[in-house]
Amino acid sequence: MADDDCQCRPLGFLIGLPFALLALVLSLVGAVIWILGSVLSCLCPCCICCAGLANLAVGLVKLPIRIVRWFTHQIPC
């Protein structure tokens, strides 16, 4: 049986849900950092660190989805 055959893994989703909720809070912090970094990089384009902060913030915003996907892939069919 291939991994592509099993797409429904509710147990992994339920186990990962509390961690995804915690990551959701981090993603909100990441969204605020992203907005501040974008504003600062528009005001002063020479600040390369603001671009790095914006990239870090985008990673934080994507974190809840990554966590749920990781947990669902850990549970066998």
pLDDT above 90 as % of the chain = 0
- pLDDT confidence bin for 62, thresholds 50/70/90: confident
Average confidence (pLDDT) over 39-43: 77
Which range, of 5-14, 54-63, 68-77, averages the lowest pLDDT? 5-14
- pLDDT confidence bin for 1, thresholds 50/70/90: very low
Rounded to 5°, angle at Cα 34 from 30 and 36: 120
- pLDDT confidence bin for 33, thresholds 50/70/90: confident
Residue 60: pLDDT above 60? yes
Q: CB neighbours of 10 closer than 8 A, spacing ≥ 6?
A: none
